[in-house]
Amino acid sequence: MSPLLHVRNLSVQSPERPILHEVSFTLEPGQILAVTGESGSGKSTLALSLMGLLPPGFQAHGSIRLEETELSTLSQQDWCRLRGKRLGMVFQEPMTALNPTRRIGTQIGDTFRLHTTLSPREIDTETRTLMEQVGLSEAGVNERAYPHQLSGGQRQRVLLAMALACQPELLIADEFTTALDARTQAVMMALVTRRCETQGMAVLMISHDLGLVRHYADHVLVMKDGTCVEQGPTPSVFDAPHHPYTQALLAMSLHGAARTPLTPLSVFTAPS
């Protein structure tokens, strides 16, 4: 099977300092690759460079190939055609990642509007189907609701729906379950894995929750200070870590330290 995503020697430089150093990996359709490592190790920058959304002033070198398309030399216009259609992304801050002044149905529908020629009526239908799939309808959430009327988990579902709308080949999920309770987390992951199995969607999952990684990921990539210290199939990395950093990470995880308690964000997740 030819890889869907092929990243070779990717380096990213911020105006102040280097952030990523010579990262290389591949990802095949239907597979889940987990990127893990401590905060500031460059995980999010990696995700953003895959989406072509690095902040202004950041410079990337190396090659990113999505099937035959070389992304690093893509024009802005082509990037826009790719994002949302072939590449989907879910962010980690459910509280702020949605536009507060637009209805969630509109925001989900936007993905269709940007990449398909569906009629408004068809978009409405598709949006409703999607909302059902991610379990929003089940929770009684209407497409006319505004983000502030939703709980954190519900918002994350909206974001997921937006990312999955056009059946992307690659989903980039940046800590997208971190703020959620264990049950919701499981439901969301089930949604994602179903897509992997039925549509061959590949997932690049950024998480420092090693329990989650071990349970869902096919491959693991461990990062430290912008470099990839270890990568391989999940069982082999977890059972026989080579790098001392990985070993340390795993050791901490076993003591339960890596499983962060609920972040302060959870204060806001009470339904309004």
Partner 1 sequence: MTGMAVFRILLERLVLLVVASLVIFAAMNLLPGDPAAVMLGLDASPESLAALHQKLGLESSLPARYLHWISAFIRGDLGQSYIYDVPVRSLIGERLQSSLPLILLAMLLSLGAGIPLGVIAAAKRGTLLDTGLMGFLQLFKSIPDFWLAMMMTFLFSLTLHWLPSSGFPGWHAGALPALRALTLPAIALAIPQAAITARFMRSSLIETLSQDFIRTARAQGYSRRGVLWRIALPNALIPVLTLAGIQLPVLVTGTIIVESVFSLPGCGKLLLEAVNQRDIPVVQNLVMLIVASVMVLNVLMTIFVRWLDPRLEADPS
Applying CB under 8 A, the residues found at the interface with partner 1 are 51, 53, 76-77, 80-85, 87-89, 91, 93, 96-101, 110-111, 114-115, 146, 148-149, 159, 162-163, 272
To partner 1, the closest distance from the beta carbon of 91 in angstroms equals 6
Structural contact between residues 47 and 89, judged by C-beta atoms closer than 8 angstroms:
yes
Q: Say if residues 33 and 219 touch (Cβ distance below 8 Å).
A: yes
Q: Considering beta carbons, is residue 24 or 149 the nearer one to partner 1?
A: 149
Query: Measured from the CB of residue 243, what is the shortest distance to partner 1 in angstroms?
Result: 31
- The least distance separating partner 1 from the CB of residue 111, rounded to whole angstroms, comes to 5
Closest contact distance (angstroms) between CB of 60 and partner 1 is 16
Cα angle at 265 between 261 and 269, to 5 degrees? 105
Contact present, 42 and 10 (Cβ < 8 Å): no
Of residues 203 and 249, the one with the C-beta less far from partner 1: 203
Considering beta carbons, is residue 192 or 229 the nearer one to partner 1?
Answer: 192
Q: C-beta of 248: minimal distance to partner 1 in Å?
A: 32
Determine the distance from the C-alpha atom of residue 105 to the mean position of all C-alpha atoms in its chain, rounded to a whole number: 21
Rounded CA gap, 272 and 148, in Å?
A: 8
Of 150, 203, 204, give the one whose Cα is nearest residue 180: 150
Q: How far apart are alpha carbons 220 and 73 in whole angstroms? A: 27
Which C-beta is closer to partner 1: that of 19 or that of 159? 159
- Residue 203: C-alpha distances to residues 44, 116, 171, 248, 271 (Å): 15, 23, 5, 26, 29
Nearest approach, Cβ of 21 to partner 1 (angstroms)?
A: 24
**What DSSP designation does 165 have?**
T
- Helices 152-164 and 182-199: crossing angle in degrees, nearest 10, is 10
Choice between 96 and 198, CB closer to partner 1: 96
Cβ-based nearer residue to partner 1, 36 or 111:
111
